Structure 1
């Protein structure tokens, strides 16, 4: 069997006392004209106390020794909320007393087997601020392919994690995203944003 065999079996309302990962909240706020309004929102329960972010996304670029092209490290995994195999960058939640950079190095090793060094960290980004308060930092990680552990990377997946790791050439990422969508995959917004940024840079010759 493969991750493409996963599927939703049923959907029912989630009671608050059953929820492990999220809260649903009703927000009362004042708009710019002074009127009182309400908003429905989801919040993660997992953000560390006094932490500023929920998680990290990882931009890991490898040099393909055969083709000489730079390739982006990506993952395929089934996501029940969209009932689909998604194309994502490696990512994960931040543990208590852990920096974004530490979380990125740990998650990269656990999910892909690769060992990397942080080179850049983004400002805090919000995934869908009209719906939830979930946020993250994108962490850029350099991977030295000459290291023995990076020649034969071995993921350390948790029980219940099913992740396929692969790479896509950066200069063709936009077209690859469109091809993967035609094949039935859902494209994570972080991957799509990287692809669109590269496309714009190519078109505008930046």
Structure 2
């Protein structure tokens, strides 16, 4: 069972500045660099402290597809995210562990967050989430979920004590429209997910041209 509780009951109660030395997961840095016009300039950035040594990848996102007679569906999740003060619509995702391949990470995170056992279909290129602000990056992995597999008949997420996630699916055929409707309802849309949905919509509009 998803450890979702009442996601709408979650709320931010206070926001305050934090010194860099007090941060457990993040590192703030000031960059000195030379711009294309030859001038010395500075930039402020954030980075994760969690990237394993020996890898250039922070984490993975998983687009997991369930094949159904009515058409393929995408496995998604709802999760309260304090920085945006709201419930986000996201794909399953997580950080890479030391000595773990991207494919292993993706299947582990899919099982932990959704309970589903999947099979990797494709592994995408390294993408940067917000390069004007941080160097955090992701690799998007696509996966299939075989509902004939007995392990997927009653999927049970293996969430940590501080994780509260609600799992749901959306039809791939109306993915863009469904996300747009969720945004109108007040949910916060993960940019990577919305970009995939926009790509699908553009493929429908311009496919074959």
TM-based fold match above 0.5: yes
Distance in 1 between residues matched to 2:11 and 2:72, nearest whole Å = 34
Normalising by the residue count of structure 2, what TM-score does the alignment of the two structures yield?
0.95
Q: What is the CA-CA distance between 1:205 and the residue it aligns to? A: 2.5
Counterpart of 2:63? 59
What is the aligned counterpart of 2:38 among 34, 42, 49?
A: 34
Secondary structure of the corresponding residue to residue 156 of structure 1: coil
Distance in 2 between residues matched to 1:205 and 1:37, nearest whole Å = 44
Q: What is the CA-CA distance between 1:28 and the residue it aligns to? A: 0.5
Secondary structure of the corresponding residue to residue 138 of structure 2: strand
Secondary structure of the corresponding residue to residue 123 of structure 1: strand
Q: What is the CA-CA distance between 1:11 and the residue it aligns to? A: 0.3
Counterpart of 1:89? 91
Distance in 2 between residues matched to 1:121 and 1:205, nearest whole Å = 23
Extract unaligned runs of 5+ from structure 1.
Answer: none
Matches of residues 62-73 of structure 1 in structure 2 within 5 Å? Answer: 62-65=66-69, 68-73=70-75
What is the aligned counterpart of 1:135 among 134, 137, 140?
A: 137
Distance in 1 between residues matched to 2:192 and 2:47, nearest whole Å = 20
Counterpart of 1:158? 160
Extract unaligned runs of 5+ from structure 2.
Answer: none
Matches of residues 13-28 of structure 1 in structure 2 within 5 Å? Answer: 13-28=17-32
Counterpart of 1:144? 146
| Residue deviations 1:68-88 (CA, integer Å, cap 9, x gap) | 211111000000000010000
What is the aligned counterpart of 2:52 among 48, 54, 60?
A: 48
Q: What is the CA-CA distance between 1:52 and the residue it aligns to? A: 1.1
Q: What is the CA-CA distance between 1:17 and the residue it aligns to? A: 2.2
Secondary structure of the corresponding residue to residue 197 of structure 1: helix
Matches of residues 107-126 of structure 1 in structure 2 within 5 Å? Answer: 107-126=109-128
Q: What is the CA-CA distance between 1:89 and the residue it aligns to? A: 0.4
Counterpart of 2:12? 8
| Residue deviations 1:4-55 (CA, integer Å, cap 9, x gap) | 1100000000112221110110000011121100000001000001211000
The two structures, once aligned, show a CA RMSD in angstroms of 0.9
